[in-house]
Amino acid sequence: MLPLVSEDGQKPDLRSLSLEELKLLVDRMGEKPYRAKQLFRWLHFRGAASLDEMTDLPRPFRERLAAEARLVTLAIDAVQQSSDGTRKYRLRTYDGKFIESVYMPDEAGPQSFDPESDADEPATRVRRTLCISTQVGCAMGCGFCMTATMGLVRNLSAGEIADQVYRVNADLRGLGLQGERPLTNLVYMGMGEPLHNYASVMRSLALLLHEEGANFSHRHITVSTSGLVPNIVRFGEESQVKLAVSLNATTDELRARLMPVDKKWNIAALMDAVRRFPSRQGRRVTFEYVLLRGVNDSPEDAARLAALLKGLPVKVNLISYNENPGLGFGDPGPERVQSFRQDLTRRGVTALVRKNRGRDILAACGQLAVAGQKEARS
């Protein structure tokens, strides 16, 4: 029986299948074994959008593939370009839902910090990072996030997660960027909670890391979580990619208001999971801390954060809030952000500020997709 037949009875998606599963499919079709590797490379090295592009596969084989399976490909529905080079993509799924991916070009330097960066990489290395989504909407309900207003619509498949990379690579090539695959780094920090869609996220990582496909380095991929404690240690044991934990508060009272996940797994449980997270190959957990004006940005907050992290091999990524209309939270401003960072540094915490990106477009997570859903309904 062919793996990955969907629950709704649809034919399996070729882009979600592993190389081993494609071998089973090819064998069942009576084709030569090497066709599986050819097909996998078309899907994940070249990022083919259709079977018709696979010109070195015999037409009868492609026709049989179309009859037995399907190739799910995202469509770029809208693009917004920021003055800083950021490009935000609204992508439409096969069933008419909207998700987002954000491209962020950056020349690494000592004053910039991204969770996927490596301390031993040259400071001048150009990073082309894509922030990708794992769900349509999100079930976590974080009060400062526009995506939360959608609720959880559905999980993305592994193929849909990976295809965000291929659609953006194709777009960047069209803009003149050199190379078959211009993107260098990936962060699973877009719409959705990655560890809530665990199986598809892990399968997508295997596809994107595969040497016959996109061949990303595990050092250049970061997966973010709002704090799904049961899956944190499991993720560390089953994957070598990096983990970022969205903390955003230093007391359970405040964190539960901002992030309802704290009501189920509080800060103590979260910190215990981080302590047990495997740190092989020098991998450190990054804590993301979104600074909200007058909410979590005081010197007392900084002192409590430093106390929470004392003795842990972690680093803090400070993020100045990118304001969402109607949610009631504000940007604390650069002076307050730098002061908060200095408070942490004085207490021995490695903390850097992530650059503000795309402030002149709908760059905050969920804004463009929510607008698209409203347009579709109307």
Query: What residues act catalytically?
Result: 100, 365
Helix (H) or strand (E) run with residue 206 in it = helix 198-209
Question: With contact defined as beta carbons under 8 Å apart, do 42 and 85 qualify?
Answer: no
Q: Which residues in 125-154 are b (16+ Cβ under 10 Å) and which e? A: eebbbbbbbbbbbbbbbbbbbbbbbbebbe
How far is it, in rounded angstroms, from Cα 378 to Cα 296?
Answer: 37
Q: Which residue has the tokens 């690579």?
A: 169
Closest CA to 147 of 177, 185, 182, 192: 192
Question: With contact defined as beta carbons under 8 Å apart, do 253 and 267 qualify?
Answer: no
Closest CA to 162 of 129, 199, 132: 132
Closest CA to 104 of 67, 72, 130: 130
Question: With contact defined as beta carbons under 8 Å apart, do 29 and 174 qualify?
Answer: no
How far is it, in rounded angstroms, from Cα 140 to Cα 209?
Answer: 28
How far is it, in rounded angstroms, from Cα 39 to Cα 325?
Answer: 45
Q: Which residue has the tokens 């979600």?
A: 16
Closest CA to 344 of 298, 305, 308: 305
Question: With contact defined as beta carbons under 8 Å apart, do 135 and 197 qualify?
Answer: yes
3-state SS of 36-60? Answer: HHHHHHHHHCCCCCCHHHCCCCCHH
